[in-house]
Structure 1
Amino acid sequence: MPPDFQRLMTEAARLTRAGELRRATASIRAALGQGAAPAATPTAAEDDCVVIDVEARRVEPEPPMQKPVPASAPASVPGGQFIAGSHTDVNGAHEYKLFVPPVWHGQALPLVVMLHGCTQNPDDFAAGTGMNDAAREHGVFVLYPAQTQRANASRCWNWFKHNHQQRGRGEPALLAAMTRDVMARYDIDPQRVYVAGLSAGGAMAAILGDAYPDLFAAVGVHSGLPAGAATDLPSALAAMKSGANAPPKNTAVPTLVFHGDADATVHPANGEHAIAARAGGVTPESTRARSDNGREYTRRRYRAEDGRVVAEHWAIHGAGHAWSGGSARGSYTDARGPDATEEMLRFFREHTLPTAR
């Protein structure tokens, strides 16, 4: 980080409050070493505004992509396959990585869509979360869409822009179409498709659950924000700092939330709002415990009238902006917390769509 990081971020906050969004964005980029400090006149277009994770430890290079294998290719190799592919729409080709479990022989299996955070990529996210190892054990496909620097300079999903928050538009439409493409190619079980993400990816996962309840049977939001938390840069920065002011959109999709209560990048109140979108008004069952790795946590479970658990909130005490129980092989991880990967897969297994779509 540049030595004057704090000064530049303070200046960005001041400029945002003053309504000078272009100069605020330039100051944020300068703080991350991605450009010069803002000049006396605006230097960047408002459409180029990005919301970034200001505690990023590193920026990974774009990984080289292999050619995708057809769905008919054998996948029963030891350990499964982690292959590269692309989905093409009117805006061009969009790359992804896909984990194919070794138990797959053409039968319908579940799919988890994993959305990385800012500055991350599919390989980094897979390594940090350990999702492929867990998916290998449970017989699950895992799709990792890759955000590009062309779409966002910090490779964030654009959760905070109004044109990327609705069904049939922007990144939600792209991600839903990519998911359906992979489902068709690998004969995925349409009743067992899930989406999860970290930070900006968690915010986009919440949007996808809200926009496509007929596609995703459950959602995992880790260190993210609820759908509708922001519609532009100022409201995004405000939500990240102190929690969304707007009431969360109600969703019928079962939701699991993980959030560190010492997160200084995305305020923990956002986790509360994300869970309220699914379980507002329901009295939870609450337990406090310590993970095998050392961190204490509070787990709250929310049940519907029929007794089904429709939402869970895990507050990880003392944890910052990091994937709980993750590996140091990837960025944004906290090895001391409870295993968010295993808990998400467990929660997902408890939920299926009522009928095939």
Structure 2
Amino acid sequence: MHWHIKGAMADAMARLKTSDVAGATAAIRQALAARTRGVGVQPTSKKVAADDDAGAPRLRRLGDILKTLGAQRATYRRFPPASDEATPAADEGDDRFVSRSHRSAAGLLNYKLYVPANLDRELALVVMLHGCTQDPDDFARGTQMNRLADEFGLIVAYPHQPRSGNAQGCWNWFDIRHQQAGSGEPAMLAALGQELAREFKITPGRVFAAGLSAGAAMAEVLAETHPTVFAAVGLHSGLPYRAAHDVISAFAAMKGNGKTAPCIGVQGRRKIIIHGTADATVSRSNGDALFERMRSQNPGSSVVMSEVRSGSRTATRQVLIGPAGEALAEYLLINGAGHAWSGGHRSGTFADPAGPDASREMITFFLR
């Protein structure tokens, strides 16, 4: 391996350790371009000296994943406009969709909050966790959860992960510092859920969390670390709890090679899992593992399967039924779907207009 390739790989490894996926990709591409021209390029960072023999095979695999991430983002960044599609809800300009902040012992958390027009009914709270590179406004546009809020009486909170917390705006689901109840992001998110439940007098058992990709993985962390706060979670293209412990193992988990830890939460928390068979960013095996984990945790349960059709898409629905006939978990595996919010609106990133409608599926499951 040429020296400039080695240096670039070391640079990429250093950047990955700080979650700078974009910087790692750029370093590798620069080095490969230089090798093609037959010239050397100095590494862009001097943070670490790589062990070339031990690191090279792993980094080649990571390079493949980085390319996949870039391709997926380009595919789902914006779908072409459709003239016959209804205009999305005016999120940023709506006086019922406001910016707020919450401070707890775990830290400061900025978020957007949507309050439905009619508050004279039993309300529920949904904490929506965006994916990497997204923000609350983007996620609200793509999922269209605010429209369902008016229909079902939902208070919807969209916490914001700043770039200071993660270079790509990802929730740090893979970091052991953010995988326990007492500190970090899970503690901040749980504190926000509890505070909003008190503010809007929401009945216990009607507080939920949902997310996409890294947001779904963090929602899974909440299910395991704060099961008494969140009665159910919605996991779209997510990963099992503690499938990774750092950035490198996170990439392995995304490929389906993660290791899962024993469940630590109490029995009874409910989960709806949604995944696409064509997801090249987070392997569908993670969805399979999430559902299988629920099955193993509830040995007296049974599974009912059915087929779902939405437009040109088909999906397989598996429902885990408890001894009393309650739906403990649901797994919607969508044929041909990639790494994007199913049934989402074109105005948001990582949103696939083809159904089924993931937002409605989650709310229906939560309120069942």
> Which of the five TM-score ranges fits, normalised by the shorter chain?
0.7 to 0.9
Is 1:289 the counterpart of 2:281? The answer is no
Counterparts in 2 of 1:59 and 1:346: CA distance versus 1, 3 Å: closer
For the residues of structure 1 that align with 2:208 and 2:96, how far apart are their CA atoms? 20
Q: Quick check: 29-38 or 176-185, which moved more? A: 29-38
Counterparts in 2 of 1:24 and 1:342: CA distance versus 1, 3 Å: closer
Query: Contact 1:279 / 1:310 at 8 angstroms: preserved in 2?
Result: no
For the residues of structure 1 that align with 2:320 and 2:264, how far apart are their CA atoms? 15
TM-score w.r.t. length of structure 2? 0.77
Using the aligned pairs only, state the percent identity. Answer: 42
Q: How many pairs does the alignment contain?
A: 312
SS at match of 2:229: coil
SS at match of 2:255: helix
AA of the residue aligned to 1:254: R
Counterparts in 2 of 1:150 and 1:301: CA distance versus 1, 3 Å: same
Q: Give 5+ residue unaligned stretches, structure 2.
A: 32-41, 50-64, 79-93
For the residues of structure 1 that align with 2:117 and 2:203, how far apart are their CA atoms? 16
Counterparts in 2 of 1:331 and 1:41: CA distance versus 1, 3 Å: closer
SS at match of 1:178: helix
Counterparts in 2 of 1:248 and 1:339: CA distance versus 1, 3 Å: farther
Query: Contact 1:83 / 1:97 at 8 angstroms: preserved in 2?
Result: yes
Q: Quick check: 87-96 or 306-315, which moved more? A: 87-96
Kindly provide the CA deviation profile for residues 272-324 of structure 1, in whole angstroms up to 9, marking residues without a partner as x: 11122222355421112321x32111111111112111000000101100111
Counterparts of 1:303-314 in structure 2, within 5 Å, are 303-314=321-332
Partner of 1:334: 352
For the residues of structure 1 that align with 2:226 and 2:237, how far apart are their CA atoms? 21
Counterparts in 2 of 1:277 and 1:308: CA distance versus 1, 3 Å: same
For the residues of structure 1 that align with 2:173 and 2:244, how far apart are their CA atoms? 8
Counterparts of 1:9-158 in structure 2, within 5 Å, are 21-22=13-14, 24-25=16-17, 28-30=21-23, 39=43, 42-43=46-47, 54=70, 55-57=72-74, 81-90=96-105, 93-105=108-120, 108-158=122-172
Question: What root-mean-square deviation, in Å, do the aligned CA atoms of Structure 1 and Structure 2 show?
Answer: 3.1
By how many angstroms is 1:184 displaced? 2.1
For the residues of structure 2 that align with 1:222 and 1:317, how far apart are their CA atoms? 14
Kindly provide the CA deviation profile for residues 313-345 of structure 1, in whole angstroms up to 9, marking residues without a partner as x: 000101100111111010111111201111100
Counterparts in 2 of 1:204 and 1:235: CA distance versus 1, 3 Å: same
Partner of 2:361: 343
Q: Quick check: 174-183 or 320-329, which moved more? A: 174-183
Partner of 2:179: 165
By how many angstroms is 1:43 displaced? 3.2
Counterparts in 2 of 1:140 and 1:180: CA distance versus 1, 3 Å: same
By how many angstroms is 1:271 displaced? 0.7
By how many angstroms is 1:88 displaced? 1.6
AA of the residue aligned to 1:285: V
Question: Aligned match of 1:197 in 187, 190, 211?
Answer: 211
For the residues of structure 1 that align with 2:155 and 2:257, how far apart are their CA atoms? 33
Q: Give 5+ residue unaligned stretches, structure 1.
A: 1-7, 46-50, 61-78, 351-357
SS at match of 1:328: coil
For the residues of structure 2 that align with 1:199 and 1:335, how far apart are their CA atoms? 17
Kindly provide the CA deviation profile for residues 97-134 of structure 1, in whole angstroms up to 9, marking residues without a partner as x: 111011114x6511011000000011110110010001
Partner of 1:266: 282
Counterparts in 2 of 1:131 and 1:189: CA distance versus 1, 3 Å: same
For the residues of structure 2 that align with 1:283 and 1:319, how far apart are their CA atoms? 27
SS at match of 2:138: helix
Higher helix share: 2
Counterparts in 2 of 1:248 and 1:226: CA distance versus 1, 3 Å: farther
Partner of 2:271: 255
TM-score w.r.t. length of structure 1? 0.79
Partner of 1:244: 258
Query: Contact 1:130 / 1:327 at 8 angstroms: preserved in 2?
Result: yes
By how many angstroms is 1:188 displaced? 2.2
Greater C-alpha Rg: 2
Partner of 1:324: 342
By how many angstroms is 1:196 displaced? 0.6
